Each structure stands twice: as structure tokens, then as C-alpha cells.
Structure 1
């Protein structure tokens, strides 16, 4: 249990204090970030909510690990997790009865070598 709480504390601290603009090496996975965000979601939604994780060790030496996450901190963690994960990965799928607009960029005065066309569904 203490290992779980230690890892949870590391994740919360990472996403609370993380400077999103700096690129740093980390061992945090997408799955861990998503699970943390989902776990803190009820606390983040209620302005007066807080959650306390506490473990007491009853063997020598006696240790007490305590993590308190308030609504404000849960919101900060969720926002940083969202930035960490980036935009959602597009889903593959079939489109039927959809209008598709194509624009040919070859020969257009506003384009340069290497530009790619954009397909938009409308």
C-alpha cells in the first residue's frame, strides 16, 4: 500500500508542479495520467471537495503518509494531465452520405513547395 501511495504522491506532485512548456524526460505513461485524471474528477468538479489518502505503518519505525488533494489542486492536476496527453487521437472510421470538399493547391499562388492539401468534411 505504501508503494501505491508513494507513486500516487509522485504523480500528483508531477502534474501539480510541472511546467508544461519545458520538455523533460519522464516515466509517466498515458494510461497513468488518464487514470489519475479520472480518479480526481469528482474532487475537481465540487468546489468544496477534498480527498485524503493516509497510510499508517504499525511496525517499527512507525510511518504516516498523508496526501490531501483539494478541489483547486485536483483541477490543476486535471488541466496539466490534459496538456500532457495533448489532442485526442483521431478515430478511423467509415463515412457515408458525407459531403467532402477537396481543394487542389497545385498552381495556387498562395502555396509553396511542400504544402499539403486539406480535406474537410461538411
Structure 2
């Protein structure tokens, strides 16, 4: 709906979907963020808007490039849908300044640059 092909020939051959409702530094987290940071495909995070700063920090701490593009798709497939683009390095600030609120799907990886959207900040 946001024009992002989660798999795109020559860019990503796989995608992984995880829940982001528990922060990476929370002992209740069941997500292996270190392994996700090593993947070269697309990462899709559900329920992670309020934790995206910590998620981005964890991915970068485990080796993901801070310049990795991402898109937050707020209220996807509704008349109120909007897409806000950022990078792992800038996403926490962009979420604040753009007032991104749940529900939103977060798409992380080079495929974000393959679809239409705002320039990365």
C-alpha cells in the first residue's frame, strides 16, 4: 500500500516480520536483535513505533549500518495512511518531529529506497 516492495529483484530476497512491542533491552524480549542485524533482507516491525528508538539502537549496536533506510507507514491501507522515511540513525528524532503514532508498520532495508516517498532524513 505504501509502494515498498519488501522483496525486490537484486535488492532483497527475503523479509522477516517481528513484533516490536517489547523493547530490545527489556528482559521479556524474545526477539534475537543481534541475528536480525546481520540479515541483508527486509525487516518489518509491527507494534514498534514507541520502541523504534531502542530498536534502531540495538540494530546498529549489533552491526546494522546507521544509514539503513526505513519507512514508517502509519494507518496503512486507510484514507489516513501516511509514510514517513528516515534512517536507523535518525528515526527516533523523525518520529518525534513528525508525530508518528500507532498503528504503524516499520519497514527497514534497502527496499525502502525502491518505492516512492519522502527523501531520507
TM over 0.5: no
Which has more radius of gyration?
Answer: 1
TM-score by length of 1: 0.26
* Structure with greater strand percent: 2
* Structure with greater helix percent: 1
TM-score by length of 2: 0.26
